[in-house]
Homo-oligomer: A and B are copies of this chain.
Amino acid sequence: MNESKRLSVAILIFPGVEELDFVGPWEVFTMARQIGAPLDAFTVGWPATEITCAKGLKVTADHTLSQAPHADIVLIPGGKGTRPLAENDEFNAAIRTYLAAATWQTSVCTGAALLARAGFLEGRRATTNRHALDFLRTHAPHTYILDERYVHDGSVVTSAGVSAGIDMSLWLVGHLFGEDTARTTQTYMEYFPEPPYGKDS
């Protein structure tokens, strides 16, 4: 593989980030790397590297947002911490610059509201957590909000809530590195769910 074409994936974490929102995509991208996809993944913390997640998991980010290396793909997860961040001008300015330098801007769940605040959902199709449609509409009045598992519109890919970030990340791995890589990633993750209850719940 051509080392000069390695892609970097930055996964943002912040106080109140929902755990599976970011660890699901992290697992997808790092598993793809393990099987040979030319990518590097790292976590980016706001405002600092020490993060307590929405459900209490304590994680230390690789970098702070202000000192993070360039990323080709930026992924913004959701969680209750997105609500104060959507109103935080300092964060909004910092993430807008970081997103603008990337090739791909992606989100999971209510992370879409942060993409919107940074101006990346203007006139685009997007999705979010089913229980947060009004929250996204508030921050994204000119966005076509769809009830889909994930939505790709130009350089922006948004996904529905929590576990949907896994599906979106598998799609992006397939798009960037080929279907074989995505299928092998999915197989190694044994991501062929058989939850005990069906969708009629």
Contacts and interface: CB of A to CB of B under 8 A. Distances in A.
A27 interface: yes
A68 to B, nearest CB: 15
Contact of A190 (B26, B57, B59, B162): B162
A189 B85 CA distance: 22
A163 interface: yes
B163 A166 contact: yes
A81 interface: no
Interface stretch (A91-99, A116-124, A179-187): A179-187
Interface string A157-173: 00011111011001100
Number of copies: 2
Interface string A121-132: 000000001110
A197 B186 contact: yes
B60 A58 contact: yes
A190 B24 CA distance: 13
B174 A190 contact: no
Interface in A1-51: 18-20, 23-24, 26-27, 30-31, 33-34, 41, 43
B189 A167 contact: no
B184 A196 contact: no
Given A20-B23, A167-B195, A167-B196, 15 more contacts: A19-B23, A20-B24, A20-B26, A23-B57, A31-B55, A41-B56, A58-B61, A131-B188, A162-B189, A163-B189, A171-B196, A182-B196, A183-B201, A186-B201, A191-B193
Q: State the 9 A-B residue pairs at the shortest beta-carbon distance, nearest first.
A: A30-B55, A183-B201, A161-B190, A20-B27, A23-B23, A58-B60, A149-B194, A162-B189, A171-B196
